[in-house]
Structure 1
């Protein structure tokens, strides 16, 4: 059996009352979850959006997902062998960078790996990310999906959007017979180009959810054996 380290006193950094209360809450939640579950997984969640967190929490009822600042999570796990809450927990610290979630569960590693390996969520690409596609809006009437589907399956974009397309998005649009039109094809972005804010907003406006979000499994700790198993 791993030796108990629960009596160790750990001091959180001084901060304002509200911030300190939040740190203390997360710290206590991590410690309680370590007591309640055998495994703790380090999941990389950079650019995560609310629907993804809702999916995970719904699918992992009985387990617990905790997000927090790196330093608070590291403090709760223990940053050194002397401070760690369970044997070798401090070794998880090297995998905590970026936006990290800790998943506490009693499900087997095979079950966790199978779930997150298969999990994918379509999303709108964000500014400063590389575009996974080339997107060109055809000339003529501007449709709500910008040429992604056949015209008979789409509807013309509302004329009230024309000032936004022309002024905010810098597209050469005009109103012809009550419909937004383009005099020629308009290239929004080339595949592989880094998106700016304007391009990302155009893709979202035309419903181009071409980015796939995946959760990266970085490592996990087995509370019974005290082992830390890296995944990458």
Structure 2
């Protein structure tokens, strides 16, 4: 008798490991792009969100090539010593490839690149472990969804979820209501998973996705130029590779 398909367990969390062939292909791609483009930038991401990074890639498609993945693999592709560097000066650029960073290959002039990334910022919801950028206190009265336009109260069927996340609500004419003001988070302190979920439910965006340029390599001279200004804090880890 054939085995029932209903009894099969399918894991939705299993992720295939990167193979040696995949890493070799990535090394080759980075080296090929170092021969194609005039400049290579090392950039760092603050508050990593794949959705926003894909937006950056989309907006630069055709005028740049972006790689974001394991720093050790990208550094190896550039070369970490004068003897190993793929092109003149790249081993000095690889010294900046540490932590949550990526590579941007482009022919665009440096000032244009700097100004574009200075302007690109995307507010997003904080996650557990992120530091609260401000204190959020809900006033007494109906608990409101601030992301709706205009803001509207939560429906009655979401009251159990609000209570589970720590709000001391009461039902008033079918609306989850606070009898006194209640603080959700305090500025400067790490968010718990419950606080992060509450902030998302009410529509309070507390973090900003942005890209900070760290250093630039010029293919014509082999010179490395460090970019002034501190990089954004990398608040999350990501070990997946993303390339255009």
Length-normalised TM-score, structure 1: 0.85
User: Is the deviation greater in 183-192 or in 215-224?
Assistant: 183-192
Return the match for 2:191 from 186, 195, 199: 195
Instruction: Show the 5 A alignment for 1:140-155.
Output: 140-145=141-146, 153-155=150-152
Instruction: Show the 5 A alignment for 1:201-220.
Output: 201-220=197-216
Q: Is it true that 1:53 corresponds to 2:53 in the alignment?
A: yes
Find the aligned partners of 1:142 and 1:95 in 2 and give their Cα distance. 47
Q: Is it true that 1:164 corresponds to 2:161 in the alignment?
A: yes
User: Is the deviation greater in 126-135 or in 157-166?
Assistant: 126-135
Find the aligned partners of 1:28 and 1:40 in 2 and give their Cα distance. 15
Length-normalised TM-score, structure 2: 0.81
Give the secondary structure class of the aligned counterpart of 1:116.
helix
Contact 1:46 1:98 in 2 (8 A): no
Aligned to 1:10: none
Which consecutive residues of structure 1, in runs of 5 or more, have no partner in the other structure? 1-15
User: Relative contact order (alpha carbons < 8 A, sep ≥ 6): 1 or 2 greater?
Assistant: 2
1:46 to partner: Cα distance: 4.1
Runs of 4+ displaced beyond 3 Å = none
String of CA shifts for 1:186-208, please: whole Å, max 9, x gaps. 10012222222221111111111
Calculate the aligned-residue CA RMSD, in Å: 2.0
Return the match for 1:175 from 158, 171, 178: 171
Find the aligned partners of 1:52 and 1:156 in 2 and give their Cα distance. 29
How many pairs does the alignment contain? 212
Aligned to 1:7: none
Whichever structure has more strand as a proportion of its residues is 2
